[in-house]
Amino acid sequence: MSIPLEQFVRQLQDSGILPGDTLKEFIPPRAAPKDAEELARELVRSKKLTKFQAEEVFKGKARSLVLGNYVLMEKIGAGGMGLVYKAEHRRMHRIVALKLLPSDKMKDPTTVARFEREVTAAAKITHPNIVAALDADCADGVHFLVMEFIDGSDLSRFVKKHGPLSVENAVNSILQAARGLAAAHANGIVHRDIKPANLLLDKKGTVRILDLGLARLTSNDLELPPAELTSTGAIMGTIDYMAPEQAVDVRSADARADLYSLGCSLHYL
Contact by Cβ (8 Å): 66, 16: yes
- Helix 51-58 / helix 5-15 crossing angle, nearest 10 deg: 110
d(CA 197, CA 213): 14
**How many whole angstroms separate alpha carbon 180 and alpha carbon 212?**
12
Query: Helices 255-268 and 155-162 meet at what angle, rounded to 10?
Result: 10
**Residue 24 to residue 30: CA distance in whole angstroms:** 7
124 assigned ligand-binding residue: no
Query: How many degrees, rounded to 5, is the angle at CA 87 between CA 85 and CA 93?
Result: 170
Whose CA is closest to 234, among 218, 243, 246? 246
Residues 6 or more apart whose Cβ sits within 8 Å of residue 188: 124, 217, 218, 220, 221, 224
Beta strands in 90-222 (DSSP E): 95-101, 133-139, 142-148, 152-154, 189-190, 199-202, 207-209, 216-217
Q: Among residues 21, 35, 135, 193, which one is catalytic? A: 193
Q: What angle do CA 62, 73, 127 make, to 5 degrees?
A: 140
254 given a catalytic annotation? no
Those residues whose C-beta lies under 8 Å from the C-beta of residue 171, and which sit 6 or more positions away, are 266
Binding residues for ATP: 99
Binding residues: 99
Residues designated as active site: 193
